[in-house]
A and B are shown apart, each in its own frame.
Chain A
Amino acid sequence: MSGLPFLSLLLAIPAIAAVACLFVGDRNAKFVALGATLVNFALSLVMWSQFDVGGAQWQFQELREGLFGPFNWALGIDGLALLLIVLSTFLMPLCILASWEAITKRVGLYMAMFLAMEVVMIGVFAAQDLLLFYIFFEAGLIPMYFIIGIWGGANRKYAAFKFFLYTLLGSVLMLIAMIAMIAEAGTTDIPTLMSYNFPVDMQTWLWLAFFASLAVKMPMWPVHTWLPDAHVQAPTAGSMILAGVLLKMGGYGFIRFMMPMFPEASAQLMWIVFALSMVAVVYTSLVALVQSDMKKLIAYSSVAHMAIVTAGLFAFNQQGIEGAMIVMLSHGVVSAALFFCVGVIYDRLHTREIDRYGGLAVNMPAYALFFMLFTMASIGLPGTSGFVGEFLSIAGIYEASSWVAFVCTTGIILGAAYMLYLYRRIVFGELTKDDVKAMPDLNPREWAIMAPLAAVALWMGVYPESFLAPMRGDVTTVVARLAPAKPAGDAHVSAGKPKAAEHGSGHGEAPAGEAHHAGGSQ
């Protein structure tokens, strides 16, 4: 079983299904797509079960040299990539289900584009060759351009153009940086490059070029403006996959490329990341507060959450990076769920105006319950996935800089404000509008999408160790790589009292450890 080329299979199944979808007719295409994504999800779960936690850094490696001349078909994953791949395969069948009835025109093409998207996402996370990574990274633009442009809302063409050109402009600079890296290091192998020491002055340029690309993808303020447009115009499933996985490519790029490959530059330029993150957290939260369009509100909240991710990553310590990863995973599940929540009522009333709704708790109790859960997870209520990630990352940020931690925490407060305000306006209040009264509660298909998302959000909140364990070793490696360059933080944390450590060693080491750090620093 271990000899099975898991990653190639994960790529091949949706690729073949995508081609099939184009030819089997609209009705069958749905089933082909659903089948392929479910098989892929199952396969990725088998892969997770076989993943040796604490074993070799790179597992499931595949290498075909010479196939593409100067670069190779090299795949392989560590814990970080594993989790992001599972996130992608988990969300894909839900996206297909979410589009089951909402998409009526050119279904075959639609399903093919989604499956192509899945290939691209898995490819990005699994690629171990710099050029292979770039090809997958960039290839994602094509299906997303079609998804937004063909099946999007009224202003979809503008949004599709903006998405495409914005992200392309960022990416091309990264390509030049990659060429320079390949010339300098003489290899395209990502694991080798991760331990290659680039000259420090060169690192700065490479870092900036990568930053130009990944900051757009992430997206960071002030290059985030494509995101609200893309989200608002994209169909529900498009938003789910965009928020759920595509934004994570940015974060993945930070942790896979920028931090381990250019540690000195990362340390020198961390102030840029911190500054932009702080602005983003506060500014986009405030913008979210005044939105009248549901999808736009959630889109801005994504920018704010991603800012916590970037700040957490550049804290350069175990908690910060692990927290950032958990925020990414949590946001992947929760924002996809929130976009689906919007999609559910959009399908019924065909408007995203918050004011058109109200009082849904009366006639859609099950919906109100799920929406509440995801709202809380987005805010970061303890017990939900959002809390674990935000707490860990802010604990990490605090070690690096208490001011950044302070500003980021206000974002969490503001996050509670805009999410609860949104929830109140949609779900609570008087049920006065006739068309809203006529809206039925969740149907079985919608239940089938909501329930797994809710289960994962809770699981991640109650027992995050399942997700922390696979990535711990990889994060430690990154932290060790960054250690020589790491600037001193202003928090002066101490290890904490030994007595407390004994007490906490029984359960969930990582969160307990964090609590001590935070406690010790006071």
Chain B
Amino acid sequence: MTADLALIWPELILTVGGLVTLMLGTFLGDRQVGLYQLAALLTLGAAAVAVVALLGVNVTVFSGTLSVDAFGGFAKLIIYGASAVSILVAPRFFTSGMRAEYPVLILFAALGMGIMASARDLMTLYVGLELNSLAAYVLASFMRTDERSSEAGLKYFVLGALASGMLLYGISLLYGFAGSTDFATIAARMGGELNIGLIFGIVFVLAGLGFKVSAVPFHMWTPDVYEGAPTPVTAFFASAPKVAAMALMTRVVVDAMGPAVGAWQQIVIFLALASIILGAVGAIGQKNIKRLLAYSSINNVGFMLIGLAAGTQAGVEAVLTYLLVYVVTTLGAFLVVLQLRDADGNQIESIPALAGLSERRPGLAAAMAVFMYSLAGIPPLFGFWPKYLAFQAAVNANLVPLAVAGVVASVIGAYYYIMIIKTMYFDDKSEVEISGGGDIVEGTIMAASALWLSIIGYLFIPMLGVASAAAAAVLF
């Protein structure tokens, strides 16, 4: 047992760091923003270093309930990075003073997500998921006095509880009919004949996980929560938990349900196509940029699920690459949204107010244009590459109709992305004077991600290929 502890350094660091930050906040008060922000960032940094140090390891710990491997490591690095960005951008958003709970909650959420990405047992899966979710519910309603924020938190909690219920029901069925909560044992049982109980278990587990990745038809909470939550929190929701949930879903599908391809594949295909199409169509009428980005995340999850539906190592590699590129793009887009404030310092979220942004703030508009084209997957922007990998995995797994349907639906999605660009570049200036921004850290993150997503990203393909292949190989 003590030997196992040495293998979960990232989780230990996050736990201790989170508690220390909490103490700092309690004893020093909310004014010491810099200090507890620094503590949280250092914790994440140290955890990331620990993950890197453990990258070569591939063992299970705590009686096979948790796996320490490159797959989890890959996901954790993205999760920690996204969490760090969410902490970095927060103080400037909460103008009335940031509260110490914010970085603490993010740290605990990151801990939960790390467990999700490493889970090899239905119980650890659930523990990680709930740790993340509980922190997320509080984060969504972080602006207590704001009605929309409270509503978002409540909505997220109620629907999240429902999804957890479904997931637990599915878990209980899987446990009941497979005789174990261990992924490997379940997979062995799935290799045999499937009975109705197992099939129901698969369906309910995938429904619960579908809720977490906000795949259609379990996406209803996403636009409301994204719109209502404070923008840094929305940026967080759109990035890190997506990675964790997608990684978890991949592990469950490949590790636990792997042999029962016929049972899960059609569900994943349905989720994928429904997400792509509804994510695209639903976004068209949106007037709020955060809601639009919510639909965009639904849409993008659909493309990741195409890679997952292939069920091959190449498919998992596509999912991992997609996650990284998607997180960079989404964080960049939300950073742009964070910069938009009117003369009184109020957050601007309406899309028509962006009209003529390219003349007021050319740099900001150019960065947003890069993010939008990248989310749409138009080459030469780097967002094209993961989409290509996902389609390639699908085609090579003989799922050509799925790839064709997905690629055609991606054109619908392109419509609203280029609509944002139209608003920024073609429309006459709106009356809203957009000020704010100019922060060096945020500017650097935006510029760096925009540059990476433009042509430069292609130079990283060999590196990404090696990393994602190493991570995906763990599952096969």
Contacts and interface: CB of A to CB of B under 8 A. Distances in A.
Are chains A and B native binding partners rather than an unrelated pairing? yes
Contact of A180 (B400, B418, B422, B458): B400
B378 A138 contact: yes
A176 B400 contact: yes
Contacts of B425: 146, 149-150
B37 interface: no
Interface stretch (B56-64, B68-76, B183-191, B405-413): B405-413
A183 B396 CA distance: 7
A435 to B, nearest CB: 28
Contacts of B359: 106
A149 B391 contact: no
Contacts of A157: 422, 426
Given A67-B459, A142-B373, A145-B418, A179 B391 contact: yes
Interface stretch (A159-167, A235-243, A276-284): A159-167
Contacts of B443: none
B94 interface: no
B392 A150 contact: no
Interface in B414-461: 414-415, 418, 421-422, 425-426, 458-459, 461
B177 interface: no
Contacts of B404: 173, 176
A182 B403 CA distance: 15
B184 to A, nearest CB: 31
A172 interface: yes
A162 B112 CA distance: 46
Contact of B461 (A70, A109, A150): A70
B93 interface: no
Given A69-B462, A135-B380, A179-B403, A164 B426 contact: no
B422 A172 contact: no
A146 B403 CA distance: 29
B465 interface: yes
Contact of B392 (A138, A149, A156, A179): A179
A168 B422 contact: no
A165 B395 contact: no
A142 B425 CA distance: 12
Nearest to B411: A169
A133 to B, nearest CB: 11
Contacts of A161: 415, 418, 422
Contacts of A142: 373, 378
A66 B414 CA distance: 30
B465 A176 contact: no
A420 interface: no
Contacts of A149: 422, 425-426
Contact of A172 (B396, B407, B464): B407
Interface residues of B, number: 32
A20 interface: no
B306 to A, nearest CB: 12
Instruction: Identify which of B391, B392, B400, B459 gathers the most chain A CB atoms within 10 Å of its CB.
Output: B392
B414 A165 contact: yes
Contact of B465 (A70, A139, A165, A172): A70
Nearest to B404: A176
B429 to A, nearest CB: 12
Contact of A150 (B384, B408, B426): B426
Contacts of B414: 164-165, 168
A131 B384 CA distance: 11
B461 A160 contact: no
Interface string A123-152: 000000001001110110110011001100
B97 interface: no
A141 B392 CA distance: 23
B388 interface: yes
A134 B385 CA distance: 12
Contacts of A106: 359
A173 B462 contact: no
A362 B69 CA distance: 83
A152 to B, nearest CB: 9
Contacts of B458: 67-68
A160 B422 contact: yes
A451 B66 CA distance: 75
Given A68-B458, A138-B378, A172 B408 contact: yes
A66 B407 contact: no
A175 interface: yes
B379 interface: yes
Nearest to A146: B425
Contact of A176 (B403, B411, B422): B403
Interface string B105-135: 0000000000000000000000000000000
B407 to A, nearest CB: 4
B462 A183 contact: no
A164 B379 CA distance: 13
Contacts of B459: 67-68
A176 B379 contact: no
A275 B417 CA distance: 36
A402 B29 CA distance: 90
B428 to A, nearest CB: 11
A169 B411 CA distance: 6
Contacts of A67: 458-459, 462
Contacts of B408: 169, 172-173
A149 B423 CA distance: 10
B372 to A, nearest CB: 11
Instruction: Identify which of A68, A69, A150, A160 gathers the most chain B CB atoms within 10 Å of its CB.
Output: A69
Contact of A141 (B378, B410, B465): B378
Interface string A70-99: 100000000000000000000000000000
Nearest to B462: A69
B31 to A, nearest CB: 41
A156 B428 CA distance: 13
Interface in A162-209: 164-165, 168-169, 172-173, 175-176, 179-180, 182-183
A68 B462 contact: yes
A91 B8 CA distance: 63
A135 B384 CA distance: 9
B380 A139 contact: yes
Contacts of A176: 391, 395, 400, 403-404, 407
B397 to A, nearest CB: 10
B214 to A, nearest CB: 24
A179 B378 contact: no
Contacts of B411: 165, 168-169, 172
B461 A69 contact: yes
Contacts of A156: 426
Contacts of B396: 179, 183
B395 A180 contact: yes
A32 to B, nearest CB: 17
Nearest to A157: B426
A164 B419 CA distance: 11
A164 B418 contact: yes
A70 B380 CA distance: 16
A4 B421 CA distance: 39
Contacts of B373: 142
Nearest to A131: B388
Contacts of B421: 145
B465 A138 contact: no
Nearest to B395: A179
A66 B380 contact: no
B215 to A, nearest CB: 22
Instruction: Identify which of A136, A156, A164 gathers the most chain B CB atoms within 10 Å of its CB.
Output: A164
5 contacts: A70-B465, A135-B380, A142-B373, A156-B426, A165-B418
Given A69-B464, A169-B411, A180-B395, 18 more contacts: A67-B462, A68-B459, A68-B461, A109-B358, A138-B384, A139-B378, A139-B379, A141-B378, A145-B418, A156-B426, A164-B418, A165-B411, A165-B418, A173-B407, A173-B408, A175-B391, A176-B391, A179-B403
Shortest 4 CB-CB distances between A and B: which pairs? A69-B461, A135-B379, A172-B407, A149-B426
Interface of A: 66-70, 106, 109, 131, 134-136, 138-139, 141-142, 145-146, 149-150, 156-157, 160-161, 164-165, 168-169, 172-173, 175-176, 179-180, 182-183
